Structure 1
Amino acid sequence: MAQYIRKATLLLFTQECMKEYFNKFNFFHVGCFKTTLSKALGLGIIGGSLIVKVPQILKLLKNKSGDGINIFSILLDLFAITAMSSYSFCSRFPFSAWGDGVFLGLQTLMIAILVMHYNGDTAKATFFLSTYIAVISAANSGLVPINILWACQAMNIPIVLISKFMQAYTNYTNGSTGQLSAPTCFLLFFGSLARIFTSIQETGDTTMIMMYVCSTLANAIIVIQLLYYWNVDVKSKEKIQKKSQ
């Protein structure tokens, strides 16, 4: 039992910090504070990632429509998440630094399949699912050299920007955010913002840090559009109600 408790404790504290906190009672160790905060944030982000895109999935299922969602943006987002997760897994980074990618990837995959299905491309969605499973299995099996995974991870910076800007442009041309879920967009923004800190603390990988910086800025644009078009929609509804009275 004690062994399992120790393993669980190591998810939040490093061995060095356990000595500082529980042996020396040094609760003001700056380095351990940063490390523990990073791990706590990382675990919190992983917990949040279990449901972060669920509102988007439920909205698609409820309305049976993928209107307003740019499928190419979703696919680019999926590539970025997959590349980051596979690279981190093969680089043996702490799970708290990248574990959310597993759950975000699964949910993004589901969104992509639903959008294809509701757009009338069910056969394409089935083929895509089979292909993705094959690719992700190969990427995490050790068959793909780490330098190729690193190159894919490095591509994430422009891919994340292009992905978000494509969705932002779709929102702009439609004058609406369509089927985008506000809770999902806000959670993605705050999650990527927190990941900047955890990546600095737990990986020190410049590419990952820059990817999350770019992702945060791009997510901020989508959030701003959500707020702007929400106000526009509210004003439009008020005008329609006044005319009908």
Structure 2
Amino acid sequence: MSILYSETTLKAIGYDETPEFCYKEILQRRPSMQGSCWFILFTKALGYFLIASATISQIPQIFKILRRRNASGVSFVSMLLMLEASSSSVAYSLSKEYPINSWGENLVFMLQNVILVCLVLRYNKRPLASLSFMIFYIVVMIVLILPVIPSDVILFINIIGLPAASASRIIQIYTNHKNKSSGQLSATSTFLCIFQSCGRLTTSIVLTKDWIMVLTFLQVIILNIVLTCQVLYYRRSNKSK
């Protein structure tokens, strides 16, 4: 989930400068403003960096399923919860007109998670369900994006996205444990998810100081570490057998 930081957020935590203003101040080398301005530009750059890293996070998983033509071990419910988390954040951010560098990685996650859900259905021999889900999802997202749903409803959907992201990891961890195998899960993708969560933990500590979100992202990091260790363990175990 994305930590939303815009000009309004920066002012709320004591920074009246905007990134555009800071560019000029730093170029003119005014020492009195450079401290806070460097902080603002750092957070802005971090937002874009997280978007860039998100573009590759699930690609290894997608390619592995396509290459093996097999989605065994990948929990459909887990992928569905991850899709809810990213989609709700996108809908909420668009409704609030937040700058894309504060939530853009969730747009990438959303697209990747849609593909993964459809692939899991497709390779579980449910091609019609995959097509039907894609059509249904597009309709739902159009309804969420258009200003026809009350903002309180979109806010609620966005709030439940945080526990949904944690629940998705727990479900996948349980699935691996039950199967004694990680199936077609990609270790690269799970590792990149750790990196992504660490970045969002940093922005939540530095920018919002919202300890509920900090603890949530810390929990997600721990769960992603456990999941990555599971994938590596079962991969080594299967090779030894």
TM class by smaller structure: 0.7 to 0.9
The equivalent of 1:143 in structure 2 is: 148
* Inter-CA distance 222–195: structure 2 relative to 1 (3 Å threshold): same
Instruction: Work out the CA distance in 2 between the residues paired with 1:190 and 1:119.
Output: 30
**Equivalent of residue 102 in structure 1, options 107, 115, 129:** 107
Instruction: Work out the CA distance in 1 between the residues paired with 2:219 and 2:114.
Output: 22
The equivalent of 1:75 in structure 2 is: 80
**Equivalent of residue 60 in structure 1, options 65, 72, 81:** 65
* Inter-CA distance 34–220: structure 2 relative to 1 (3 Å threshold): farther
**Equivalent of residue 127 in structure 1, options 121, 132, 142:** 132
Calculate the TM-score normalised by the size of structure 1. 0.82
Output one character per residue of 1:71-103: Cα deviation in whole Å (capped at 9) or x when no partner. Answer: 011011101110111112212222111101111
Q: Which amino acid letter does the alignment assign opposite residue 77 of structure 1?
A: M
The root-mean-square deviation of aligned C-alpha atoms, in Å, is 2.3
Moved more, 183-192 or 86-95: 86-95
**Equivalent of residue 162 in structure 1, options 161, 167, 173:** 167
* Inter-CA distance 61–188: structure 2 relative to 1 (3 Å threshold): same
Task: Tell whether the 8 Å contact from 2:91 to 2:144 is kept in structure 1 after alignment.
Answer: yes
* 1:21 to 2:26 alignment: yes
The equivalent of 1:39 in structure 2 is: 44
For residue 29 of structure 1, report the CA deviation from its aligned partner.
Answer: 2.9
For residue 41 of structure 1, report the CA deviation from its aligned partner.
Answer: 1.7
SS of the aligned residue for 2:31 comes to: coil
Instruction: Work out the CA distance in 1 between the residues paired with 2:211 and 2:93.
Output: 13
Instruction: Work out the CA distance in 1 between the residues paired with 2:195 and 2:91.
Output: 23
* 1:178 to 2:174 alignment: no
Task: Tell whether the 8 Å contact from 1:153 to 1:207 is kept in structure 2 after alignment.
Answer: no
The equivalent of 1:117 in structure 2 is: 122
Moved more, 95-104 or 216-225: 216-225
Instruction: Work out the CA distance in 1 between the residues paired with 2:155 and 2:205.
Output: 17
Instruction: Work out the CA distance in 2 between the residues paired with 1:91 and 1:56.
Output: 32
SS of the aligned residue for 1:29 comes to: helix
Output one character per residue of 1:30-64: Cα deviation in whole Å (capped at 9) or x when no partner. Answer: 32222222221211111122222111111111111
* Inter-CA distance 36–114: structure 2 relative to 1 (3 Å threshold): same
Runs of 5+ consecutive residues of structure 2 not aligned to the other structure? 1-17
**Equivalent of residue 216 in structure 1, options 192, 216, 221:** 221
For residue 200 of structure 1, report the CA deviation from its aligned partner.
Answer: 5.1
Instruction: Work out the CA distance in 2 between the residues paired with 1:176 and 1:205.
Output: 37
Output one character per residue of 1:114-154: Cα deviation in whole Å (capped at 9) or x when no partner. Answer: 11011011111111100100111111122222211111111
Runs of 5+ consecutive residues of structure 1 not aligned to the other structure? 1-12, 238-245
For residue 218 of structure 1, report the CA deviation from its aligned partner.
Answer: 2.3
For residue 15 of structure 1, report the CA deviation from its aligned partner.
Answer: 2.1
* Inter-CA distance 89–196: structure 2 relative to 1 (3 Å threshold): farther
Q: Which amino acid letter does the alignment assign opposite residue 154 of structure 1?
A: I
Moved more, 217-226 or 132-141: 217-226
The equivalent of 1:197 in structure 2 is: 202
Task: Tell whether the 8 Å contact from 2:25 to 2:33 is kept in structure 1 after alignment.
Answer: no
Output one character per residue of 1:175-226: Cα deviation in whole Å (capped at 9) or x when no partner. Answer: 2211111111111111121012334556677776555344323222212222
SS of the aligned residue for 1:65 comes to: coil
Moved more, 170-179 or 213-222: 213-222
Moved more, 43-52 or 186-195: 43-52
Task: Tell whether the 8 Å contact from 1:186 to 1:223 is kept in structure 2 after alignment.
Answer: yes
Count of residues paired in the alignment: 224
Calculate the TM-score normalised by the size of structure 2. 0.84
